[in-house]
A and B are shown apart, each in its own frame.
Chain A
């Protein structure tokens, strides 16, 4: 008899605990979730309510780890100018970030590749309109060890032989190369860089190489392994220029090999140059004043931030085009 009373007491206390948790949820405006909370910058109820009162706001973004350093620099300067706006940026990778963008959880999405067809249709289905902004250029850099004195340039076909796993020695790549075994390194599938290389060079064939999630490991491996080859973003090449040898690349549209450097990336003569994107949710641009300020600040400072982060700025005309796109919202 007594036992059951205590059971009831325990149950009651559990109910209280659950009620407390439930109360927490109820006070959250995003309970009615996906459709309604889109206008809200963050799900945080109290904070954003307070924030709205003091004419400040919050901005959330997520996405590529390649683009993140640029946005981090921009955010630092933005914060100095607009200290009341709370900006939070996640680094879930391009693919992971798009998932959140589709779920309506973020105002903007950093991407190291163009949005995919299926992501566009997912966004349409979710009723989210977006605008694509280019913020910088990256030159995917192919690099070999500094001791490697025979590789003067590589064509797309040669890169394909190496990264398809077809070539076992450098001699299999080109006849004048020595009979030395090749070790190829590449970023793994979580990187937009991997996808970009696969599409641009491999014609969508699989990359057979030592894949790594940490790009630092790739640059270090190429630095220490005499017969290795690897590729990564231009920023990793910029900080490791003394320890690595960048290889000029000849694409199908090039008459001769092109060296990776600021001018060739900016002009897209370099065949592995690619734009870096920020995708903005239209609704947030229109309704969230802080986000509009943030985007304006981003485009105004993207070029200097890109260079500081080790990337290449857009040409002035191109940057003006991006600014015009934002101007259209006003």
Chain B
């Protein structure tokens, strides 16, 4: 008696192979749909905007006259916004993550807080804009300043960084944690000298990825009422400013068709900054991820 009935297998084999093959192409198609759309968009934007990326484009302020239009105000405003958002968001969210992972007692209240932080990550950005408008712009009287926008953005990206940091802290092996305590280190020493360095790549990746979300975010800025027509750059965090996504949003609505190309050029600049930030995130992740 044969253990394998070749006849029987032969009958089923072709069907299975076909299924295997067709699934491969279906998944390839799924991947391609996203890629092709993205590539089309990118190529279209590059063709449209490339010739507008001149030095003048970076040194001129926004203008209603297409030949004078530039992104100086918006670009510097965006850099101010990011430079202010980053420290606020980092201190608040890494602090939160450390407390939740290292100090908080394991009870229902802590669980409740953790669940809510995860839920916050899914709240639409426009809601954070409304929160920022009421809390920072109106109640704290910060107006549409860099600080008001940065605080709003920080709140928006806070949950993402907290969750990423929590993951990173949790992934530090308990053996080295215990070893540190066993050597007589205090909890604070263990955190600053063992846990934080070990979890830093994960935390930084989370920070950079959420900052690159914040940099392209338009809705909260629209709600806060960031001006788009201004011919000066901020000199401090209490000054008002403009930002790249706002500039893009207002240019795309201009009647003169030439502004469509100028918008494309501004999109390229924003994409380039995004690309740069994401590359840094990937670099850090790759460089430091093989520690344990």
Contacts and interface: CB of A to CB of B under 8 A. Distances in A.
Contacts of B234: 47
Contact of A90 (B95, B188, B225): B225
A87 B140 CA distance: 23
A2 B142 contact: no
B253 A216 contact: yes
Given A44-B239, A72-B229, A92-B225, A6 B188 contact: yes
A33 interface: yes
Interface in B47-66: 62-65
A76 B236 contact: no
Interface stretch (B25-33, B143-151, B200-208, B211-219): B143-151
A88 B230 contact: yes
A214 B252 contact: yes
Contacts of A62: 225, 227
A79 B147 contact: no
Interface string B101-117: 00100000000000000
Contacts, number: 147
Interface string A79-107: 10000001111111000100010010100
B238 A89 contact: no
A235 B255 contact: yes
A24 to B, nearest CB: 6
Contacts of B193: none
A251 interface: no
Nearest to A232: B255
A216 B231 contact: no
A138 to B, nearest CB: 12
Contacts of B118: none
Contact of B240 (A3, A28, A65, A88): A88
B256 A239 contact: yes
Q: Is the interface of A mostly helix, strand, loop or mixed?
A: helix
B279 interface: no
Contacts of B95: 10, 13-14, 17
Interface in B67-107: 68, 91-92, 95, 98-99, 103
Interface in B218-243: 222, 225-232, 234-240
Contact of B239 (A47, A76, A91): A47
A297 B189 CA distance: 64
Interface residues of A, number: 60
B186 interface: yes
Contacts of B252: 214, 216
Contact of B226 (A9, A44, A90, A308): A90
B254 A69 contact: yes
Interface in A57-78: 60, 62, 65, 68-69, 71-73, 75-76
Nearest to B241: A88
B187 interface: yes
Contact of A43 (B64, B143, B250, B256): B143
A103 B222 CA distance: 17
B257 interface: yes
A145 interface: no
A239 B256 CA distance: 6
B236 A47 contact: yes
Contact of A91 (B228, B237, B257): B228
A37 interface: yes
A311 B213 CA distance: 38
17 contacts: A28-B142, A37-B141, A43-B141, A46-B235, A72-B62, A75-B231, A86-B230, A87-B229, A87-B231, A88-B229, A90-B225, A91-B227, A91-B229, A215-B253, A216-B255, A239-B256, A310-B255
Given A21-B151, A44-B240, 8 more contacts: A3-B187, A24-B237, A37-B141, A50-B235, A62-B227, A87-B230, A100-B225, A239-B256
